[in-house]
Chain A
Amino acid sequence: MSIPRTTPRAVVRIGAVALTGVLLAACGSGSGSDGASSGDAAGGDVTLTVDLFGSFGYQEAGLYAEYEQLHPGVKIKQTDTEDEQDYWKSLQTRLAGGGGLADVQAIEVGRIASVTQQQGGKFVDLNQYGAGTLKAEFAPAKWSAAATKDGKVLGLGTDVGPEAMCYRRDLFQAAGLPTDRTELAARWATWDGYLELGRQYKEKAPAGSSWIDSVGSLNAIMVGQQKERYYDASGALIYENSPAVKAAWDASVKAAGEGLSAKLDQWSPPWNQAFASGSFATLPCPAWMLGYIKGQAGDAGQGKWDVAKLPGGAGNWGGSYLAVPSVAKHKKEAYELIKWLTAPEQQTKVFRKQGNFPSATRSIGQIADAKDPYFSGAPIGQIFGDAAEQAPVQVLGLHDKDIADQINNALSEVERKGTAPETAWSNAKKAVKNALG
């Protein structure tokens, strides 16, 4: 009976090891050694995996092909999740399990505090590859947000999200509104002016078209105009009484109540389809949204869109980092890749192709004169450049993105179900409490 007896025991042992591995997963810190990977790479072929969300524009700008040409033997494979919420969930699960991670993982700025404060051990300290010398290349706030208290550098900045207002010239014209971006900027110098134009639009709007895609986007862009939002500088949670959050909420609720919104859910399939069908006339747009519009509206949208200065001053919404997980297979090569992708020259290329606004200071200087034919020749370099310069340096908190998501969800209740704003706000507070635990 020796065989049947030992086999089960081995099975138990293997099963137990496997399970402990999965369940206790994150207890073990990344133990992969980089020596092995960098050593092998010198001669043989390396396939670097890059896992992103939204649209970073590297593929569109041809940067992977260029990098592969510059580095024979390196192949790059990209995966992309549209919705950052889904992306983050799956990234966290894989970080906890320690498997299935790409060599390069993107991190949204709303999550970077969670990474630097809670997951310092799960990403490579890029200083060990000499990232420190790059510091001068980046805007100081961008750089310091990805650094831990003890000086580790966990990510390199890709873009920032200076804010503007994107709009459809053709729909404006059809509704008898001015289409000139300077005139519009003057008319909507304040958010009240913007909502007033929206009312005028609604009166003569083409059938099936609303003023704004969703009040969630209005809320997000307004919150982005403030320095302090959900947390104060000491790290205390202040969103319930924050005037910035309240002002954005009130304006959004107002827009919903007046029926100015197309009631779409951002990043959902119906939202994506609406870019081409003209369901909305304005879309509050951080710079990275330009590439998304191009992707969704397609060639047919060329020349129909335009960009104007944002009502109510400059702001920042989003922007990202590229990081290398500690368990990545090819850490050194991954670092080389992200160093190259976030270098000023490449950031400039991405901006010219996709609109993602550079976080590298030298690059910002290079693009001041950029115009985008897709957006009716709008001087995007100047519009977003001014916004980036004037945008407040935001206080980042541990759960910025979670709070924003829950508030956004409550706003959807108001706009799609007609829930009373007070009820929705108390729902939002409950949901935030539930999410933060």
Chain B
Amino acid sequence: MTAVYEPSYEPWNETRGAEIIAEHAKQEGATLVILHALQEAFGYVPEAAIPMVAQALNLSRAEVHGVFTFYHDFRHKPAGRHVLKLCRAEACQAAGGDALAARAEAKLGVLLGNTTADDRVTLEPIYCLGLCATAPSAMLDGRLVGRLDEKRIDALVAEAQR
């Protein structure tokens, strides 16, 4: 298996935030592009960035906040060190994904959608990774894993906890 990929984010910094926003603001309809870029840099979209985005795009804060909250991807606080996403959609259900998700929840001691108390692992549901023919599927920090079984899910959980 490939080495554990450790996501590394910069701490929030207004100047850096402004730079990222300016870099993308000229594109038409840039809101999502900017929110993605901020999250990529800082690991989440800091509250303080919302009015800055609004100003750069000539939108109201409420509008930007509305966009930010509409989409499932955007975080308002940092995730755990590792993010383990388990596909919960039909093809993975059909292939035994429900039991594996329950197993991961039990091992980590958190329900899907939560982060472990030690901030190591965020466990999240995802609805289809397009790996439905090699289901059940998961994604650990951007790395895809298919044909999950008890052994593989245990290994993934252990890897995430490291």
A binds B: no
Binding site for B on A (CB under 8 A): none
Binding site for A on B (CB under 8 A): none
